Amino acid sequence: MKKLRGMLGTGALLFASVASAQLQDMPGGPKVNQLDLPVGVTPIAHDIMWLNWMILIVCTVIFIGVFGVMMYSVVMHRKSRHPVPSKRDEHMAIELAWTIIPFLIIIGMAVPATRTVIAMKDTSGADMTVKVTGYQWRWGYDYLDGSASGVHFLSTLSTTQAQIMGKAPKDKFYLMEVDKPLVVPVNKKIRVVLTADDVIHSWAVPDFGVKQDAIPGFLRDTWFKAEKIGTYRGQCSELCGKNHAFMPIVVKVVSQADFDKWAASEKKASTSAADDPKKTYSKAELMARGEKVFSSTCVACHQANGKGIPGTFPALDGDTKFVLAPKKGQILTVLNGHPGTAMAAWRDQLNDVEIASVITYTRNAWGNEGKGPDPVVQPSDVTALR
């Protein structure tokens, strides 16, 4: 078995190195070919590729054998050649053979497949744990231990609206690039604990051999151990709503020294840029911050011009029900969403400063300025209603 595995594995890797569907940052660009699985950079990914080729070869041999015997029987035992059929009713050796041989074949495929599935679920002994939360439509990452403990950020699609709308040329990583990738050290076992805030999402990175659903109200885990420095990409693989195609996954694998530097810089930046919900901000400060928040979270549904999508997403420009009305209704809407509609709750994704900023922005952007009460919303207003 070990010798067979070595032969099959070598052949599979040689072929896959030429015909894999990798999405990595390589000097020559991403290798795109739909003829094979990704080569992968984790033990699980390598096992999946080997199992794919082993089972494919076994099935091919069975196919050739069964149809070969069938065609031989059709040709060699046709009526013109043997007009009088055999009177033999049974043959014990043949019946034993066609019972025992398939059983052994199934066992031969089931044992390594089961071993791999068990290995996929074994998250013990992890060097680091990262909590991943799926949102419509972005990923949230929380580092729970290690040198990056306490680091938290949202990872959002960074492809420009101009490219999506066909108004600008699409770049190499169209719909596969984010503003902040997940960063992990090489050759470390990373446990990924998954959940979701709204609907079912699925965190899938082919080069890691990882695909795990993120379900609201549940914690599910998986793991990977990247053996090669690089940038690896995946996508949400569970239909999760209108912008399902716009929540890619980018994982940057770096050396331990580079990871420690990154963790230190993230903590420092987080501390220096910490929002103070008790501070009173000027209108200009809130507008500037609110425009950035709107562009990263709201623009996909409500559009850059605030007109929304008729029949699907309401317009914010000229809206007298929430935007150009007393601030309480709009604050509660952003905090809690509207169940049964596409308006999600943002209380866990945005802090009070960000919510106050984006509400202030919508109340003064486009043609809304000067038309409604409460043109400025402070973080303290959001805190009071949270």
Tell whether 254 and 306 lie within a shared domain.
no
Is 381 domain-assigned? yes
pLDDT of residue 272: 58
134 and 264 belong to one structural domain: yes
The pLDDT value recorded for residue 9 is 40
Cα–Cα distance measured from residue 189 to residue 256, given in angstroms and rounded to the nearest whole number: 12
pLDDT for res 271: 65
What is the torsion angle, in degrees rounded to the nearest 10, for the CA atoms of residue 346, residue 350, residue 354 and residue 355? 20
Task: Verify that 268 and 134 share a domain, yes or no.
Answer: yes
Start-to-end CA distance of the chain, whole Å, equals: 61
Identify whether residues 209 and 250 lie together within a single domain. yes
pLDDT (0 to 100) of residue 34: 62
Q: Which of 121, 150, 179 is the last residue of a domain?
A: 121
Answer yes or no: do 64 and 167 share one domain. no
1 Cβ contact partners less than 8 Å away, ≥ 6 residues apart? 108
In one-letter notation, the amino acid at residue 88 is R
- The answer to the question of residue 278 being in a domain is no
State whether 150 and 257 are in the same domain: yes
Q: State yes or no: cis peptide before 137, omega within 30 of 0.
A: yes
Residues 34 and 170 in one domain: no
Would residue 277 count as lying in a domain?
no
Q: Cβ contacts of residue 56 below 8 Å, gap of 6+?
A: none
- In this prediction, residue 37 carries a pLDDT of 83
Same domain, 88 and 143: no
Q: Which residue, chain included where needed, has tokens 């019972």?
A: 99
The whole-number pLDDT of residue 95 equals 86
Q: Do 212 and 315 have their domain in common?
A: no
Q: Is 7 inside any structural domain?
A: yes
Block mean pLDDT (10 aa), the chain, length 386: 40 36 39 70 94 93 94 88 77 87 93 94 94 93 90 90 87 92 96 93 95 94 95 94 92 96 86 75 90 83 85 85 90 86 82 91 90 90 90
Check: CB of residue 316 under 8 Å from CB of residue 302. yes
Note the pLDDT of residue 29. 37
57 domain residue, yes or no: yes
Residue 52 lies in a domain: yes
pLDDT on residue 27? 34
Q: What's the predicted TM-score (pTM) here?
A: 0.67
Domain finish residue from 272, 295, 327: 272
Residues 10 and 81 reside in one and the same domain: yes
Same domain, 133 and 230: yes
115 and 7 inside one domain = yes
- Spatial neighbors of 265 by CB under 8 A, at least 6 apart, are none
Predicted pLDDT of residue 294: 86
CATH number at residue 359: 1.10.760.10
Domain hosting residue 88, numbered range: 2-121
- Choose one of 105, 121, 137: the last residue of a domain: 121
Where residue 145 sits, what CATH number does that domain have? 2.60.40.420
Q: How many CA atoms lie within 13 A of 126 on its CB side?
A: 22
Rounded to the nearest 5 degrees, what angle is found at the Cα of 212, between the Cα atoms of 206 and 215?
Answer: 145
Task: Indicate the number of domains in the chain.
Answer: 3
